[in-house]
Every structure is written in C-alpha cells, then in structure tokens.
C-alpha cells in the first residue's frame, strides 16, 4: 500500500531538481539542445532550451502522451547549474478531475436506481459498474504514476548525460 501511495503522490507532485554542468553556459545550452533534438525517431527528449529557461518532455515511440515536464532555469554564478522542477502535465490533472466526476455520477446513478422503482437489472448493472470503476481506479493511477516516474528518470538521465 505504501508503494501505491508513493506513486499516486508522484503523479501530481512538483519535484525540485538541480543538475550541475561541467561546461560553460553556452556549451551547456548547445549540448542540451543536441540531446533534445535527436536524429532518430522513437523515444526521445524534446523541449525548448534557451538562455532564459528550459522546458523538457519525454515522448515515447508508442505514444501514450506526456505525464510530466522539466521546467528549469540556468544559474551561472561561478559554476553552471540547471535548476528546476518536474511538474505534472495538464492532462494528468484533467484526467483525475474527469475520473472524479465520472465516479460521482456513477454513484449518483446507483443511488437513484436503488431509491426509485427501477428494474432489478438496471440496479445491478449500475452497482456493478460503480464497483468495477472504484476497483479499477487505483490501477489506472498506478499506471499513470509509473509512466511519470519513467519519464522523470529518462529526462534526468538525458540532462546528466548532456551536461556531464
């Protein structure tokens, strides 16, 4: 249960991260740009990299959407650092809110079916649908949370490789 809670929290968490660079600012920007624009299709890092800031996402060849992004700024006081945070994608919040609305509507439909004189089959179907949705929701959250964790690791590895 604690692992499920950790992944569910990770799904919507904003996590700070800082990466040192072994290069000067201009070289660091150039190396990160090269890493974010690979020649081969498939799983890759994408983003906008400039002197004012960085926004990186990781996309998969199989699709599936983006679960998080890295937003950062360059700090060039002596040594160069990329300081930023991993933020959830807007679609993640939308998915969670839409799921909450659907579950609330299913609950209301189930209560309505049991309080009104509705056919037994309708009552059973609404109740089973509600129960299946409630039991399936944690697995969906685990899947999305695991995807986000994979994306964070891939982005961090690419940043470390480019700046190291």
Domain ranges in the chain are 14-88+151-163
Measured at the CA of 92, the angle between CA 155 and CA 104, to 5 degrees, comes to 160
In the numeric block, which tokens belong to residue 32?
A: 């990160």
Q: What is the pLDDT of residues 3-50, one digit of tens each?
A: 778 887 878 888 999 999 888 888 888 888 888 876 556 567 788 888
Angle formed at CA 113 by CA 107 and CA 114, multiple of 5 degrees: 95
pLDDT of residue 5: 80
CA dihedral 13, 150, 39, 159 (to 10 degrees): 60
CA distance linking residue 98 with residue 42, whole number of Å: 30
Res 135: pLDDT: 92
- Alpha carbon dihedral 64, 66, 68, 69, in 10-degree steps, equals 150
| Topology at the third CATH level for domain 14-88+151-163 | Double Stranded RNA Binding Domain (3.30.160)
Compute the half-sphere exposure of residue 7: CA atoms within 13 Å on the CB side of its CA.
17
Average pLDDT, the chain: 86
Beta bridge partners of 54: 49, 72
Which residues of the chain carry a pLDDT beneath 70? 1, 38-43, 60-65
Please report the pLDDT score of residue 146 as a whole number.
83
pLDDT at 38: 64
> ∠ CA 113-115-117 to the nearest 5 degrees?
70
DSSP code string of 15-34? EEEEEEESS-HHHHHHHHHH
């Amino acid at each position: 249960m604690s692992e499920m809670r950790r992944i569910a929290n990770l799904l919507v968490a904003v996590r700070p991260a800082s990466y040192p660079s072994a290069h000067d600012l201009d070289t660091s920007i150039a190396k990160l740009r090269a890493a974010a624009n690979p020649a081969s299709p498939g799983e890759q890092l994408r983003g906008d990299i400039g002197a004012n800031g960085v926004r990186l996402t990781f996309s998969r060849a199989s699709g599936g959407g983006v679960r998080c992004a890295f937003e950062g700024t360059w700090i060039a006081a002596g040594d160069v650092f990329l300081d930023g945070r991993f933020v959830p994608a807007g679609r993640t919040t939308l998915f969670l809110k839409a799921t909450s609305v659907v579950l609330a509507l299913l609950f209301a439909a189930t209560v309505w079916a049991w309080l009104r004189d509705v056919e037994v089959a309708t009552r059973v179907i609404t109740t089973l649908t509600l129960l299946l949705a409630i039991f399936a929701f944690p697995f969906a959250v685990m899947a999305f949370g695991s995807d986000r964790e994979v994306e964070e690791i891939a982005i961090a590895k690419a940043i470390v490789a480019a700046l190291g």
